[in-house]
Amino acid sequence: MGPVGRHLLGLAVAGLTLATGGVAFAELGQPKPWEWTLQESGSPVMDNIVWFHNFLFVLITLITLFVLALLVVVVVKFNARANPVPSRTTHNTLIEVAWTLVPVLILVGISVPSFRLLFLELDVPKADITIKATGKQWYWSYAYPDNGKFEFDSLMAQDKQPRLLGVDNEMVVPVNKVIRVQVTGADVIHAFALPAFGVKIDAIPGRLNETWFKATKTGMFYGQCSELCGKDHAFMPIAIRVVNDQEFASWVETAKKKFASGGTNTYASAAGPTQ
């Protein structure tokens, strides 16, 4: 085998290693290596977001190709060589009506699913479980008022994978249940964001915002604070573990004992994660 063949073989092996490594690393509910699409959906809201994204992508592609075709026609057909005597046409009623009416119809076609998606995100349905998420510098605290009123802190864990997303205490929720999340901030503005569930809402001190999700798949799902909140903004991940009803009931009983008397981590109130 010549040098070119060995080089190509090396590239193929490296690509295969990267691909298999990506598959091994890629888990549901977290970013994937070389990802250029939206994260895989884990909720009905995200299903709608993905559909709307794909719909807009097709639409803007068709518009771009149409405009490109018009430009090519203009360049080829209406250049100085092809038209030594330029047209003196000042306006065309039919064309002017068309290029006004067609964009209006396109915008209306976009607005209908857009408003439908906004209402789906903002209208919180009747909740099965309510969880309060409080953003702090630089970690999250979760309270379960419907399940014993216990509360705990969730800090980034240096020894857990995936890197910068693993935490010591995950938020745990049951699958196929409507989870209402009440979000606030304890010090500065944070943002509670979980891409796989289509959730992103600001955590503002002195204000209680609400959002919701219904996880349709079990597993681990990851997000991060999405509002610049200080020097350790990049180190306050969100981790949600979705389990079946029996596992959730068992976890609640364990959590009541583990986090009894508002048992948040004592060190968490003093400082965020060390780097």
pLDDT score, position 44 = 95
Q: Are strands 150-154 and 129-136 parallel, antiparallel or unpaired?
A: unpaired
pLDDT score, position 27 = 57
Single pTM value for the model = 0.78
pLDDT score, position 136 = 96
Which are the contacts of 151, defined by CB distance < 8 A and separation ≥ 6? 141, 142, 143, 144, 259, 262, 263, 264
Helical (H) or strand (E) element with 132:
strand 129-136
Domain boundaries, the chain: 44-81+91-122, 129-258
pLDDT score, position 261 = 60
pLDDT score, position 255 = 93
Class of domain 129-258 as given by CATH: mainly beta
| Tens digit of pLDDT at every position of the chain (275 positions) | 554 444 444 444 444 433 333 333 345 678 888 888 898 999 999 999 999 999 999 999 999 999 999 999 989 988 888 888 887 878 889 989 999 999 999 999 999 999 999 999 999 999 999 999 999 999 999 999 999 889 999 999 988 888 899 999 999 999 999 999 999 999 999 999 999 999 999 999 999 999 999 999 999 999 999 999 999 999 999 999 999 999 999 999 999 999 876 544 433 333 344 33
Helical (H) or strand (E) element with 49:
helix 44-77
The secondary structure of 191-251 as a DSSP string is: EEEEGGGTEEEEE-BT--EEEEE---S-EEEEEEE-S--STTGGG-EEEEEEE-HHHHHHH
pLDDT score, position 2 = 56
**Among 126, 104, 139, 129, CA closest to 179:** 129
